[in-house]
Amino acid sequence: MHSRTDHDGRLVVVGASVAGLRAVEAVRQAGFDGTVTLIGAEPHLPYNRPPLSKEFLRADVDAKAPYFHSEDSLRSGLGVDLRLGMPATALCVNSRTITVGEEEIPYTATVLATGASARTLPGSSQLRGVHTLRTLDDARDIRAALVPGVRLVVVGAGFVGAEVAFTARAMGADVTVLEVAQTPLVRAVGEEMGAALGGLLSRSGITLRCGTAVETIEGIGRVESVRLADGSILPADLVVVGIGAAPATGWLTASGLELDDGVVCDRYLRTGAPGVYAAGDLARWFNPVLDRTVRLEHWTTAAEQGALAARNAVDPAAAKQCSTVPYFWSDWGEHRIQFVGLPHADEVSVVVGDADSEGFLALYRRDERVIGALGLNQRRAIMRLRTAIAGRATWAEACADVREPVRARR
């Protein structure tokens, strides 16, 4: 363990989700014995978001709320001063305080981990039956409405929308996914592989309509239909709007921190203010392995960053860089999609299986290097490729490495 410079200070973590929780766990594991305060806007104990668009939505499965810890294990086990159900509303970097309700909570170091909130379609949220999916409460509402035969329209063919579509289809819903772009998931996986994943949606009994913009969502009191930009009308009992998320920086507007689609940080996840770090979906940081500034919305990065930011915050003399190859997964029914690296490639080549099959591996080349990989039901290959990309493997090396050994796997 490193020498600790601030072991009797007060660490305040804002945002009680995966990044915030990992922050708390990491400093306790590192032996920090000062006060740790965890502030969460939602009334719930910290919970895991990925299951919310997957098995938790299935009313036919006895799904428990995916809490990470009991209240007792947080308060007594980890010694956390837990403040749930009220948002932080301000950060003052001069007085080193965070405002929650009437209280000004002092910090010696703080980790900001307020994540992101779902984007909404203007003018539709007041109708019953129209939902976004970001929180446990959102998932509970959708779960209650997902009954066999329900006509579900998902607006946006992103990963969360696609997962909802698959889960709903398995529940016997009649599912249409609307996507304004000509190909789904282009920003995440590029044109060719976006088309391949769109094919998987279509082959699974889900109606995918690309190049289709939503004009309005209509109904009296509750949703009845979705009017499309071409004038056609799609009847709907339930609408899930999955058009992405925006970093939850609103409460930091007056803080003086640099905000630019997230809280701007250096490679150590430090903001410009002393003792103030950021992590997870909120953080836009300089990622040395990519040699550029990025903000990711991936569970693994949020977990890694929460732990790293907190250790750096309480022991700045031993601070480590946050250098990580992006990784995410998405479960579409039984299918596991995984992506590592970046999709901005000169060439994408399917090296295992076929892009229109239920199992393939594609590599992304930029100049002579492998920069990304997409796997459909190729679990172990992807993790090896994450290491290869981190090690700046050449395209030839990566191709040789994956071709034979991974062929048989699902």
Does 158 help bind ligand FAD (rule: CB under 6 A)?
Answer: no
Q: Which of 11, 12, 19, 226 binds ligand FAD (CB under 6 A)?
A: 19
Provide the minimum distance between the beta carbon of 230 and ligand FAD in the complex, in angstroms, as a whole number: 29
Q: What are the Cα distances from residue 368, in Å, to 138, 164, 306, 395?
A: 45, 38, 33, 6
Provide the minimum distance between the beta carbon of 167 and ligand FAD in the complex, in angstroms, as a whole number: 10
How many Cβ atoms from other residues are within 10 Å of residue 20's Cβ?
A: 27
Does 204 help bind ligand FAD (rule: CB under 6 A)?
Answer: no
Query: Do 252 and 91 touch, CB atoms closer than 8 A?
Result: yes
Closest CA to 272 of 291, 289, 256: 256
Tell me the pairing of strands 103-106 and 97-100.
Answer: antiparallel
Provide the minimum distance between the beta carbon of 46 and ligand FAD in the complex, in angstroms, as a whole number: 7
Angle ∠(9,264,322) on CA atoms, nearest 5: 70
Q: Which of 27, 36, 302, 351 binds ligand FAD (CB under 6 A)?
A: 302
Does 11 help bind ligand FAD (rule: CB under 6 A)?
Answer: no
First to last CA, the chain: 39
**Segment interacting with ligand FAD (CB under 6 A) among 143-151, 296-304, 309-317, 349-357:** 296-304
Does 309 help bind ligand FAD (rule: CB under 6 A)?
Answer: no
Q: Which of 179, 281, 315, 401 binds ligand FAD (CB under 6 A)?
A: 281
Provide the minimum distance between the beta carbon of 303 and ligand FAD in the complex, in angstroms, as a whole number: 8
Query: Do 80 and 74 touch, CB atoms closer than 8 A?
Result: yes
Does 50 help bind ligand FAD (rule: CB under 6 A)?
Answer: yes
Count of alpha carbons within 13 angstroms of residue 160, beta-carbon side: 25
Burial of 313 (0-12, 13-18, 19+ CB in 10 A): buried
> Which helix (DSSP H) or strand (DSSP E) does residue 307 occupy?
helix 299-314
Both structure tokens of 352: 């295992």
Provide the minimum distance between the beta carbon of 307 and ligand FAD in the complex, in angstroms, as a whole number: 11
Who contacts 131 (Cβ-Cβ below 8 Å, separation ≥6)?
138, 141, 142, 145, 238, 239, 240, 241
Q: Using CB under 6 A as the criterion, what x/- string covers residues 115-144 for binding ligand FAD?
A: xx----------------xx----------
Determine the size of the site formed for ligand FAD (CB under 6 A). Answer: 37
Provide the minimum distance between the beta carbon of 213 and ligand FAD in the complex, in angstroms, as a whole number: 23
Q: Which is nearer to ligand FAD, 116 or 214 (CB)?
A: 116
Conformation bin of residue 368: beta by default, left when phi > 0, alpha when psi is -120 to 50: alpha
**Segment interacting with ligand FAD (CB under 6 A) among 12-20, 63-71, 314-322, 362-370:** 12-20
Q: Which of 66, 87, 106, 333 binds ligand FAD (CB under 6 A)?
A: 87
* Residue ranges that bind ligand FAD, judged by CB under 6 A: 14-20, 39-42, 49-50, 52-53, 87-88, 113-116, 133-134, 160, 248, 251, 280-282, 297-300, 302, 328-330
